[in-house]
Homo-oligomer: A and B are copies of this chain.
Amino acid sequence: MPKVTPEHLEARRAQILEGARRAFADHGYEGATVAKLEEATGLSRGAIFHYFENKNDLFVELAMEMNTRFGDILFENGLEDALRAIASENPEWLAVLIETESRMRHDEDFLTRFEARAAAVGPRIRNWFEERQADGMLRDDVSSVEIGRFASSVINGLALRVASGDPFDVEVMIRLLNDAVAPRP
């Protein structure tokens, strides 16, 4: 029997998430049946549900991974690269993400899992805006919380455009967002 290392477990987990994201993108949340998840991950249902409790759990993981990834881009490369990342995101996956998050707003189980995971990213993002404002890199005539809300609305609005296949020039969007949040002359 092969020895199961932590690296092996992590790689298997990543393989499942990657396949599941593809299955959700291709078939939608409801359409991604267990059979489709098996096909996309190349693993049996037994293996998949050894790592994740259920489909809901898999979806929450993917949504949170996305949040975390965007947080990391923001912290390491700033708002401009966060907009570029959204512009080059897979439209099908974004559409499923938006649709499912929207539909699950009344699902207690989803909300509990999601909020537990989101709790780690939200304060870091608020912090990031607060620090940039304190450093004089953001306008200081409105609260940094509202600046963050505006920036995240732009990102989410662009995500909706990407999901719908509606075009835009991301460099122009960056310029307009920068001018909205930059220190006033």
Q: Give the interface of A toward B (CB within 8 A).
A: 28, 95, 98-99, 101-103, 105, 142-143, 146-147, 149-150, 152-158, 160-161, 163-166, 168-169, 172-173, 175-177, 179-181, 184-185
Contact = CB atoms under 8 A, between A and B. Distances in A.
A110 to B, nearest CB: 13
Q: How many copies does the complex hold?
A: 2
A176 B185 contact: no
Contacts of A105: 95, 163-165
A163 B103 CA distance: 10
List 9 tightest A-B contacts by C-beta distance, closest first.
Answer: A153-B157, A157-B157, A180-B180, A99-B102, A156-B157, A146-B172, A176-B180, A149-B168, A150-B176
A158 to B, nearest CB: 5
B146 A168 contact: yes
A103 B28 contact: yes
> Chain A interface mostly helix, strand, loop or mixed?
helix
A152 B154 CA distance: 9
Contact of A150 (B101, B166, B172): B172
6 contacts: A95-B105, A149-B166, A149-B173, A176-B181, A179-B180, A185-B185
Nearest to A180: B180
Contacts of A184: 179
B146 A173 contact: yes
Contacts of A147: 176
A153 B158 contact: yes
A50 to B, nearest CB: 30
Nearest to A146: B172
Contacts of A169: 146, 149
Contact of A160 (B157, B161, B172): B157
B142 A153 contact: no
